[in-house]
Every structure is written in structure tokens, then in C-alpha cells.
Amino acid sequence: MTDALTSWRLGSLEVPNRVLMGSMHTGFERDGERLAAFYTERVRGGAGLIVTGGYAVEERGRSVPDDIVLGDPALDPPLRRSVEAVHAAGGLIAVQLFHAGRYSAGLPDADGVPVPPVAPSPVAWRAARGVVPVQMSEADIAETLRNYARAGAHAEELGYDAIEISASEGYLINAFCSPLTNLRQDAWGGDSHRRRRFAREVVSAVRAATGLPLIARISGDDLMTGSSTRQDVLALAEEVVAAGADAVSVGVGWHESPVPTVQFSVPHGAWLSVDERVAAHLPGTPVIGSNRICSLAEARRALESTRLAAVALARPFLADPDVVAGAVAGRTVIPCIGCNEECIDHSMRGLPISCLVNPRAGREGRMPLATALQPRRLAVVGAGPAGLVGALDAIRRGHRVTLFEADPEVGGQLRLAGLVSGKSDYLAAARALARRFVELGGDLVLGRRIGLEELAGFDAALLATGVRPRRVEIDTDGSCTVLGYGEALEMAAGRGGSESQPSGSGPGARTELGDLLVIGGGGVAVDVAATLAPRSGRMTLIRRGSRRFAAGTSPSTRWIGLGELRTSGAQMWNNARLVRVRRAVATVEVRVPSTPSGEAGAGQARPSRVDEVVERRDVPVDTLVIAVGSEPRVLTGSLSIPHRTVGGARDAGGLNAARSTREALEAVRDLVG
């Protein structure tokens, strides 16, 4: 049984504990001070070893525009600054050597010339938008191996403590190993052993170039039908160790895998059996597990129940840098909710990363936690995500804060999201934010609807009163139950209705929903429908516009709820509106393209305009759920003290919790410093 807080050996390096901060591309690697401040907080928060984001070993290995190439002279000063900051804080840092392979977007080089992606074979992936990678020649392979070696040597020059080689998640090395993406019949492909040759050669090249401890991160399971077998994976693990790796880190899945790997819907610790399979096969070699291990308690359980030497937590260190030290000290730690909105989604778009529940992430230098020189009395109205984050930031810096919430429980829309299937971490995060606020001396007042006139005695106020569901008129004879989306989620969770949701006949004593009609096509509508699907019969979703269902939501999680709906057989109709409900039958009008009138004659162009016709469709409905968006919940009256309105209370259009928490943080800094 291994204690997470004991030290262990990574080659020549003694690592002080067994909880690593896994690799995350930040998007601000070019800013040494910003990167230094970001890493320093994580060292102080207890990360035994920090692994940087993936730094490309050559120009054609970059994935998104803000990726960097290790060895670019212009980047040496900021990278060296971040290394020095980690060491000054008493920490250790490893650099990840990376090559995107076919996952590169074909980025322009320094001269603006597009660099086509390279791969073992010209096999594009489904999101490549027609870009087919160039098959690497013998000369290309030799050059890339030299670049891996050069990058390894340069990492040692910059002062890094260790190196991790990214050979997982479908990137170049992993692509060489898989029969799906390596179709070669030469010395670099044709059978499993030859497909693994590139991985062996990369590790050997880096090992020959530097004496730094070396981690090889492999894919424990590609989660791709027809890809590497379990035996292939275990053989690769053996071979990278024989080639010079001091430890093996285990990842899982590709970008194109049809199975979620790190999203909110994945149970905590879901991939430990994959990690353990590799660890059991490599006795005497440290193996590092990862993916959906979200807290120190979970890290401890993972280490106690497996032969892993260490575990890597990535996004939990975004949600709360204090994930280890805070837990050891008995403080409440804010959990990662697996939303991906400000981290993975930002990274995929070439934007700096941050965190929905901790918008200071990535802004530590600009927003330090220094104690306020002049403590102020701050009132925060609304304990949804914006109010909770704003109140916690103010109390952490010594201000006197009272947080008012009209409902008997904190969370607002974050609480409702926590009732969605697979999203219980959202509710856990809201409660953790509130507990941490109270631990620091904040005054939390629940179940009290505050008036603006009652805030006059404070120095400033943050108004984060959130949203209420948008109301729509329904022409119904009362033959079906009409619910707001909040009421529907409450009922699915076994609770009563909510005052804040529009109601028709109310849920009554119903426990099953029968045939379900959902009005709305945004992310909330899809979440609600996916949650209710197991409780319903026939399900239909309708939206007025032509946008895709759940458009505008996280690209890395949107497909999960939609997949659940398709599996359940749900109908999803665009350009549709409810006309009326009579005798438990909904009449819906749907605009559909009609066949172009007339045929083009000889020498005539075909008609370019496609007319639309309106179809009337009858749908059985026992329960109708309204999920057509939200509108601000505002307080009436005037307020003489400095104040700011944030989040949905300011603007419910395109409501986004990440935007709300970011606004709250910035507003609190403006209001009370």
C-alpha cells in the first residue's frame, strides 16, 4: 500500500510526493512571468512534479497557432523564467516533448507558409476539414528523430528536471503504433513490432541526448476499434523502458475516440484498470496513472488499490491549485467539474486556458491574493456561480463579505446543472465554494430575498442575482403536464418543483413522464432531455431556428448528450413551433424544404432557390418541458453605493457560467481592490 505523500524515485530524481500536475497546454508559454506565476501557485499547492504542456519538437509538430517549438531562441527566456520560478518555490518541473502528427492543423511557419501535417500514412481524421497529412519519408523520420534528440538536450540546458515524451492520445508516436493510421509496409510499419519502431527510436534518441530522467507517456487504450491491442500496448511499455525510459505514464483515448475520456460524464477513476494493467506488466518500473482522478482522496485510493507509483492530476490543479496542500491542511478544495469550457476547449481553439470555477487560473500574476490594505464591506447578492466566485475572492483577500441567497440552497444555475445526468460535480463545486467561503469567515445568508435598500450600509455590492427561465405561452387544454426545465430536473432528482420555474399543471405525484415534448434546442434543453430520457417514452425536441441542437456549447462535450438522445430514439426537429396541445396530442408546425418547382429546360440553369413548406405533425405528449432560454433576474430600485451587475443578471443572452464567474472576479477587483 503506497502513501500519496511519500517520496519516490524517477531515475536520478527524488520526487517529494506521488501527486503530479499532468501536462496542460496553457496558451501563455510565451509570457514567462504569467507562466511562472501559474506554476508557482501549483507548486505551493502541493504538486510533487509539474509537467508542462506539450512543446513541439519541430515546426510541423505544432497543433494550434499558440503552440511553441522547444529550441526557438526567442522562447528560451520565458521558459527559463518559469523553470527558475518553480525551483525558487521548491518544486520540480518536467517538460513534455510533443508532436501533433496528423492532429496538426497545417499551421503557417515563421514566414507565413502553411506547413502540412505529417504522419506515418496519409490518413486524415474526421475533424481535419479535408486536410490530408503527408506520409513521412525516411528522410522526414530521420529529421524528426534528430529534432527529438535536440529538444531533449535543450530541455537540460534550460534547467528542466525531467522529460516526458508524449506518445499517446493519437499524436504522432501513437499514430505510428496503430494499424488504423500506420498503413506502411516498410521498416516503420507492416506488423506490430515495426509499427512500434518509431516510438523505440524516439526514446532512444532522447535518452542518448540527455541524462535527465525520462517518462514515456503511452496510450493504455486507444478506444478505437481496430487499433492497437492490449498485447501491443504492453509490448510497447516494455520496449520504451528497454529504450531508456525511467517511468511510463498511461493516457487513454484519441481526440476522435467515440468514448468520453475526461468529460463530466466519465466516472472518477474510470481508467484505473487500464493503468493497473500496465503497472502489473512492468514490475520495478514506476508507472503513473491519470485521467479522472480528481482529488487527493481519490489519488490515495488509486495508489492503495493498484501498483501505480504515482498519479497525474491535470485540471484539478486548475480548479484549485491547493488540491494537495489544502486537503492535507483540512481545507475545503474546489473540485474540477469536467466541463472543459475554459481549459480543453480553449486549448483546442488556441486560446489561453483558465477555469470556470477558478477564473484566476492563468491570471495569478495580474490578480494576486495579497491581503487588502483597506478591508471593505462587500455585499454579494446571489449565490450562483458568479456570486460564489466573487464572494470567495473578496473574502480570501481580507474583505468583510456577506453573501445573500434567496433560495435555501446555494448554486443557482450551477445547482440545476448538478441535477443533469453525469453532472453531479457541478453541484459539488457550488457547495465547496460556499463551504470555503464560510471557512474563511464569510457570512452566508440563505433563504432571504434582499432588497436594494438593505444594502446601503455596505461599501460596495456585487449583484449576481442570476436568471429565471424565459416564459412562453402554451395553448393547451390541460391534458399534459407542463414543466419548466428546472422543475423537470428537480422532479428527475426526486425533489419538488421550484418557484423560479414557469409552471403549468405542475408535476403532481407523477413519477414517470410518458411521452415527452421538449421545447428548446440549446444546451439546457439537450441536457434536460438526456436526463429525462430514461424516464420517458417517445421523446421529441423542437426548436424554432435552424441552428444545430446544443449549438454554442462545449465542442468537446456537446456530442455526449446528443449521442444519448440519438441512442434513446429521440426526434429532434429544427424550424418547428408548437401550435397547441389537445387531448394529450401536440400539433407542431415544421418548415421543411420543398422540391424545387419545375424542371430546368435545355440550356437553362437549375433553380437556385429552394422553397419551404410547412408540415403539420401530431405528437403524443404526456409531459411538456419548456427550455427556451433565460432572462435576467433583476432587483428593482436604486443603489447609492458602488455596485456592479454581473453574469446572467446583466445579460442572459448566450448565458455561460464561465463568462459569469470571470465577470464576477473582475468586478470584485474593481469594486474593492
Q: How far apart are CA 128 and CA 106, in angstroms?
A: 9
The string of pLDDT tens digits covering residues 344-370 is 999 988 899 999 999 999 999 999 999
Angle of helix 76-88 versus helix 32-44 axis, rounded to 10:
20
At 598 the pLDDT is 45
Measured CA to CA in angstroms, residue 403 lies from 29, 428, 449, 464, 508 at distances of 37, 18, 11, 10, 33
Domain range summary for the chain, segments of one domain joined by +? 8-348, 377-466+630-672, 481-592+610-626
Across-strand partners of 630? 469
At 499 the pLDDT is 37
pLDDT exceeds cutoff 90 at 177? yes
Name the range with the highest mean pLDDT among 107-116, 330-339, 648-657.
330-339
- The model's confidence at residue 525, banded by pLDDT at 50, 70 and 90, is very high
* Segment holding 32, helix H or strand E: helix 32-44
At 105 the pLDDT is 79
The active-site residue out of 39, 148, 160, 171 is 171
Average pLDDT over residues 456-482: 95
The string of pLDDT tens digits covering residues 184-222 is 999 999 999 999 999 999 999 999 999 999 999 999 999
The string of pLDDT tens digits covering residues 290-311 is 999 999 999 999 999 999 999 9
Average pLDDT over residues 149-164: 98
The answer to which of 58-62, 137-141, 155-159, 240-244 has the lowest mean pLDDT is 58-62
Average pLDDT over residues 4-17: 98
CA atoms within 13 A on the CB side of 484: 19
Which residue, chain included where needed, has cell 387544454? 477
At 488 the pLDDT is 93
Q: Which cell numbers in the block locate residue 606?
A: 437549375
Contacts of 604 (CB under 8 A, 6+ apart): none
pLDDT exceeds cutoff 80 at 606? no
The string of pLDDT tens digits covering residues 308-333 is 999 999 999 999 999 999 999 999 99
Q: How far apart are CA 641 and CA 595, in angstroms?
A: 63
- The model's confidence at residue 502, banded by pLDDT at 50, 70 and 90, is very low
Output the average pLDDT for the chain. 93
- The model's confidence at residue 111, banded by pLDDT at 50, 70 and 90, is confident
- Beta strand residue intervals within 33-92, DSSP E: 50-56
Rounded to the nearest 10°, the torsion over CA 324, 47, 61, 558 is 10
At 657 the pLDDT is 92
Q: Which fold has domain 481-592+610-626?
A: FAD/NAD(P)-binding domain (3.50.50)
Q: Are strands 8-10 and 13-15 parallel, antiparallel or unpaired?
A: antiparallel
Give CATH for domain 8-348: 3.20.20.70
pLDDT exceeds cutoff 70 at 68? yes
**Are the beta carbons of 423 and 264 closer than 8 angstroms?**
yes
- Grouping H, G, I as helix, E, B as strand and the rest as coil, residue 62 is coil
Greatest Cα pair distance, the chain, in angstroms, is 83
Q: What share of the chain in percent tops pLDDT 90? A: 86
Residue 39 is a catalytic residue? no
**Are the beta carbons of 266 and 258 closer than 8 angstroms?**
no
CATH number of 377-466+630-672: 1.10.150.20, 1.10.645.10, 3.40.50.720, 3.40.50.1820?
Answer: 3.40.50.720
At 61 the pLDDT is 95
Q: What share of the chain in percent tops pLDDT 70? A: 95
Whether pTM exceeds 0.95 = no
- The model's confidence at residue 596, banded by pLDDT at 50, 70 and 90, is low
**Are the beta carbons of 552 and 654 closer than 8 angstroms?**
yes
Average pLDDT over residues 557-579: 94
Q: How far apart are CA 504 and CA 477, in angstroms?
A: 11
